[in-house]
Amino acid sequence: MAAYILRRLLLIVPTLLGILLLNFVLVQFAPGGPVEQTIAHLEGMGVGATNRMGSGPQSDTTATGESGYRGAQGLDPALVKEIEQLYGFDKPAHERFLQMLGNYLQFDFGKSFYSDKQVVDLIIEKLPVSISLGLWTTLLTYLVSVPLGIRKAVRDGTPFDVWSSSLIIVGYAIPNFLFAILLIVLFAGGTYFEWFPLRGLTSPDFDQMTWWQQVGDYFWHITLPVLASVVSSFATLTMLTKNSFLDEIHKQYVLTARAKGLSENAVLYRHVFRNAMLLIIAGMPAALIGIFFTGSMLIEVIFSLDGLGLLGYEAVINRDYPVIFGTLYIFTLVGLLLKLVSDITYTLVDPRIDFESREV
């Protein structure tokens, strides 16, 4: 197992390199970057443009040649070069890419073009919100979906299975952002009840509350975002659990165990459970990445939660390249490590699986 883990860890390097290179090349063709937007902004400001250069970046993009931008027409070429140097686009693309890789090896992701903060500091600042939303979503999803999926498998074809499947299909068909809007309309003062707050993760006077009031206030704010996030993942995991258990229940070893006189619970949880859960464990890394880093974006926007999803969205819209590539690097690295953790968990659930004898 040690050799397998080492091979997987070594494969992370070319995988990260390939993903960063592909996205870096694509970004070079994206219009409306920081240089173009800054030039357009300064053109509109007229005579006082040069004096405003110290106020910080306004946007980003790639630089080519002396003045490859249409927005540069009418501006002093020296000012254009100053803008390109400000954003680091005065160097050829390959030099910028190599410099970025060297910095990333030291976990130096640079500063955001817009907030004038280090990318790492921004991620650390936003991380608690996304972790809070992701952990509760994951916990609630698994606590409900796995037992429900097992029960549906055991009672396959019964009225319980039929009506619960109908509800699950309806839940799966509703996008989580649409369900979030529905929850706001119903329970957050949209039209009917005003039982839950609409914005933020805590109240403005949170610091003045006692600890038990803070706990209550936190759960009061997190309830609707978590419910909205759970909908789609809940439906998928429930049906995955059901189908996985159904597949195992009809195998020969289950019939043999029943013939030996074992109870249904013993057959289900001592034999079927171990094999059926392998497929669910395999999907955990993708589920975690989706919940923590991508699935929560719209939920964070709708409920005004300042987390990683909102940070990534704003970075793409504003062409904030340091934030885009810094978060991409971290998310990819975390995803690859979680995938390795799931493989290790495979062997803990079922020792018969031997990755050591397989090629990576």
Q: What is the CATH number of the domain that holds 192?
A: 1.10.3720.10
**Each residue of 115-130: pLDDT tens digit?**
778 888 888 888 888 8
Q: Which domain holds residue 330?
A: 120-357
Mean pLDDT of the chain: 76
Q: Name the pLDDT band for 68 (thresholds 50, 70, 90).
A: very low
Q: Given 60, 77, 106, which residue is the final one in a domain? A: 106
- Report the helix count and the strand count for the chain, using DSSP H and E: 15, 0
pLDDT at 360: 45
CA distance 12 to 5: 11
Q: Are residues 276 and 322 in the same domain?
A: yes
Q: Are residues 308 and 334 in the same domain?
A: yes
Per DSSP, 195 falls in state -
Alpha helices in 268-355 (DSSP H): 273-282, 284-289, 297-302, 308-318, 321-349
pLDDT at 239: 86
Q: Is 354 left (phi over 0), alpha (psi -120 to 50) or beta?
A: beta
Residue 51 lies in a domain: yes
Q: Are residues 60 and 184 in the same domain?
A: no
pLDDT at 43 over 70: no
Q: Are residues 252 and 334 in the same domain?
A: yes
Using an 8 Å Cβ cutoff, are 302 and 177 in contact? yes
pLDDT at 81: 67
Q: Are residues 332 and 210 in the same domain?
A: yes
User: Span 172-201, mean pLDDT?
Assistant: 80
For 358, how many CA atoms within 13 A lie in the half-sphere containing its CB?
8
pLDDT at 53: 41
User: Span 251-268, mean pLDDT?
Assistant: 82
pLDDT at 42: 62
DSSP 3-state of 194: strand
Residue 201 lies in a domain: yes
pLDDT at 57: 41
Q: Are residues 204 and 329 in the same domain?
A: yes
Number of Cβ atoms within 10 Å of the Cβ of 336: 18
Q: Name the pLDDT band for 70 (thresholds 50, 70, 90).
A: very low
Residue 9 lies in a domain: no
CA distance 56 to 53: 7
Using an 8 Å Cβ cutoff, are 324 and 316 in contact? yes
Q: Which residue has the higher pLDDT, 67 or 171?
A: 171
Q: Name the pLDDT band for 64 (thresholds 50, 70, 90).
A: very low
pLDDT at 28: 74
Residue 329 lies in a domain: yes
User: Span 189-212, mean pLDDT?
Assistant: 80
User: Span 218-235, mean pLDDT?
Assistant: 84
Q: Name the pLDDT band for 353 (thresholds 50, 70, 90).
A: low
pLDDT at 73 over 60: no
Model pTM score? 0.69
**Each residue of 161-174: pLDDT tens digit?**
889 888 888 877 87
Q: Are residues 213 and 147 in the same domain?
A: yes
